[in-house]
Amino acid sequence: MRISGAQMVIEALIAENVDTVFGYPGGAIMNVYDEIYKQNSFKHILTRHEQAAVHAAEGYAKASGKVGVAMITSGPGFTNAVTGLADAYMDSIPLVVISGQVPMSLIGTDAFQEIDAVGISRSCTKHNYLVTDASDLGRVLKEAFYIAASGRPGPVHVDIPKDVTAQLAEFDYTKPVELETYKPTTKGNLRQIKKAVEAIAAAKRPLFYLGGGIINANAAELVREFVHATQIPAVETFMARGTLRFDDPLLISMLGMHGSYAANMAMSETDLIIGLGARFDDRVTGKLSEFAKNAQVIHVDIDPASISKLVNAHYPIVGDVKNVLEEMVPLAKESVKPERYASWRETIANFDRLHPLSYNEEGDRIKPQWVIERLGQLLGDRANISTDVGQHQMWSAQFYPFTRPRQWVSSGGLGTMGFGFPAAMGVKRADPERISINVTGDGSILMNIQELMTAVEYKLPVINVILNNNYLGMVRQWQTLFYDKRHSETDLSVQPDFVKLVEAFGGVGYRVETKEAFDAALKDAVEKNVVAIIDVVVNRLENVLPMVPAGGSLFNMMLLEKKEKK
């Protein structure tokens, strides 16, 4: 079949069963957009900013488990999208981002809207391409989707010069992908798996360390089976929330910089870490030389570069977490004796009784933690929770009652303010039957506020819950604790009227100062099923606790004073 490069893009998306593309057109990608106009196989959603297009594709990918797709033009179109690429790269989110480029004859001439997109994206993509011949386009696009979804997932960038989208060439999408230098190991080494199970059976204080790779691998059910069969306690990373149900007695909580006292102490006292799809990043480990000093480490990960990168693995297993657990769980059921760990479970329960995850309810204003708890009580499993970045993000991770994988969508590794709202649009597109909530702050929401127009136009009824403290809250917290209360450029007392703002875009708004008003606003927003902002006036100086100071040891936490315990 001899067709244009632009037509090839459309045919490839159809062949990959893409149902949604988020994007923003421009001169260099115009030929492709002309073909989008002619087709009806997938929905294109016009965001109001290219960064939002990529974040929306991320939210779609995280909620659906499929590859998210974004399309942008050259120059500033691409540079606006770089933050989304970097965010997806850090959090292992499968994306294909297609950008237009100036014609081949103009590359290197500083032409209008020319930028070295491939050079810029090299450090923040799993792989990237500059397609110089339309005859290569079918192969490249097929490889892009394969690379994005296989192995450790990630974003793939395909840059296409405008004249290449106009070229005619043969298109064949039937050939299998064959990449000599890219062959991910998906099956774990059986000898290593057996050794790991033997180590579990011999341990006295083992601990499951559950990471976001479990969600990517769709391995949560196997993890639940493993945990329950062995009765070994578990901690989750920020990215793994929802792997175990919030009310599972073996789930301690989230660990790390803002993890619970029990989770961080359990990690500090364990003699065997069973790491599944986690990368031992700095927000989890704290001071590396003090991290789990008495523990041996089982590390299962599909990315060989992650194993022993930061923490030495005594039992390294390279492979897809789901495939490895299919081999490991039956062996563990045969040899691991759950009663062996009874005293260990009691030790952890004592940690939790000593310093439970809690907050002080006193004060004139609503406490932000209460808002998250109340969302969970009123919506629970019916909602998917996206967040922006800051204090509200940590409170959401700490206090929302997650029940399932892919219920939690947030920016982890890059910590991108402005992520939450467009991601929540992508989540709603991927999972339309559930309520899409974006928990945000009065700082973060303004970073992609223009997407109110996108959400209204395409009837993506995201409910934005703003925990409004008139501060850049997390930065203010650090300034309070570590900079002698010098609140440099973090006061946001001058802010828009968020109710009028959302109404101007065609949504509904609520300003909330009491618990009763919050309940009424949430009920009304859910019933109306429209784009909404609930602007909740919360305590201005509330801190996220526990907190491990940067570079500090995991067991050396700043805690809520006991007298203030809820």
Q: Write out pLDDT tens, residues 92-117.
A: 999 999 999 999 999 999 999 999 99
Q: What is the mean pLDDT of the chain?
A: 97
The secondary structure of 376-407 as a DSSP string is HHHHGGGEEEEE-SSHHHHHHHHHS---STTS
Q: How far, rounded to the nearest angstrom, does the alpha carbon of residue 396 sit from its chain's CA centroid?
A: 13
CATH 3.30.1490.20 fits 2-170, yes or no: no
Element (H, E) at 3: strand 2-4
Question: Which of helix, strand or coil describes residue 301?
Answer: strand
For residue 566, the model assigns a pLDDT of 42
- Number of H helices and E strands in the chain, helices first, is 21, 20
Q: What is the DSSP letter of 288?
A: G
pLDDT at 363: 86
368-544 is classed CATH 3.40.50.970: yes
Rounded Cα distance between 452 and 232, Å, is 45
The single residue of 265, 474, 547, 557 carrying the catalytic annotation is 474
Q: Quick one: average pLDDT of 166-195?
A: 96
What are the tens digits of pLDDT across the range 283-331? 999 999 999 999 999 999 999 999 999 999 999 999 999 999 999 999 9
Binned at pLDDT 50, 70 and 90, residue 343 comes out as very high
At 407, give phi and psi (nearest 5°).
-85, -20
Instruction: List C-alpha distances in Å: 24 to 29, 78, 146, 175.
Output: 9, 10, 24, 31
Residue 241 CB partners (closer than 8 Å, separation 6+): 254, 397, 400, 402, 407, 408
Q: Please give the Cα distance from 321 to 307 (Å, whole number).
A: 13
CA 369 to CA 355: how far, in whole Å? 17
DSSP label of 177:
P
Average pLDDT over residues 351-380: 96
Whether 564 has a pLDDT exceeding 60, the answer reads no
pLDDT of residue 362: 87
CB 410 within 8 A of CB 393: yes
Confidence band, pLDDT 50/70/90 cuts, at residue 278: very high
* Partner residues linked to 534 by β-bridges: 465, 510
First to last CA, the chain: 68
Assess whether 195 carries a catalytic annotation: no
Options 30, 113, 198, 495, the catalytic residue: 113
Strand order in the sheet with 127-130: 43-46, 20-23, 68-72, 95-101, 155-161, 127-130
CA distances from 341 to 243, 246, 291, 331, 454 (A): 22, 21, 22, 18, 52
Which pLDDT band holds residue 14 (cuts at 50, 70, 90)? very high
Residue 141, pLDDT score? 98
Nearest to 59 by CA among 410, 379, 455: 410
Give Cβ neighbours of residue 285 (< 8 Å, ≥ 6 apart).
Answer: 291, 310, 311, 554
Catalytic residue among 16, 50, 373, 542: 50
159: nearest Cα among 62, 64, 32, 7: 32
Q: Kindly give the residue spans of alpha helices, DSSP state H, lying in 112-206.
A: 117-121, 137-149, 162-166, 190-202
Query: Pick from 334, 336, 239, 224: which is nearest to 281 by CA?
Result: 239
Residue 44, strand partner residues: 21
Q: Which of the residues 62, 126, 142, 162 is marked catalytic?
A: 162
State phi, psi for 18 to the nearest 5 degrees: -70, 130
Q: Which of 353, 351, 371 is nearest to 466 (CA)?
A: 371
pLDDT digits (tens, 9 = 90+) for 431-475: 999 999 999 999 999 999 999 999 999 999 999 999 999 999 999
pLDDT of 563 > 60? The answer is: no
Rounded to an integer, what distance in angstroms lies between the CA atom of residue 216 and that of residue 301?
11
Residues 73 and 113 sit within 8 Å (Cβ to Cβ):
yes
Residue 196 pLDDT exceeds 90: yes
Q: List phi, psi (to 5°) of 373.
A: -60, -40
Query: Active-site residue 162, yes or no?
Result: yes
- Is a pLDDT exceeding 90 seen at residue 123? yes
Q: What is the mean pLDDT of residues 159-170?
A: 98
Confidence (pLDDT) at 401: 98
Domain boundaries, the chain: 2-170, 190-354, 368-544
Question: Residue 215 pairs with which residues in a beta bridge?
Answer: none
Q: Identify whether 557 is a catalytic site residue.
A: no
CA distance 306 to 297: 13
Contacts of 427 (CB under 8 A, 6+ apart): 59, 60, 62, 63, 384, 386, 409, 436
| Residue 565: band (very low, low, confident or very high) from pLDDT cuts 50, 70, 90 | very low
Q: Mean pLDDT throughout 76-89?
A: 98
For the entire predicted model, the pTM comes to 0.97
Q: What pLDDT score does 1 carry?
A: 82
Distance CA 224, CA 211 (A): 13
Contact present, 95 and 121 (Cβ < 8 Å):
no
For the residues 16-34, what does the mean pLDDT come to?
Answer: 98
CA–CA dist 133, 286 (Å, integer):
48
558 is catalytic: no
Strands 168-170 and 2-4, bridge-based pairing: antiparallel
Q: How far lies 268's CA from each of 75, 102, 496, 553, in Å?
A: 48, 54, 45, 9
Q: Which pLDDT band holds residue 172 (cuts at 50, 70, 90)?
A: very high
Catalytic option among 39, 112, 333, 377: 112
CATH class of 190-354: alpha beta
2-170 against 190-354: fold identical: yes
Length of the chain: 566
113 is catalytic: yes
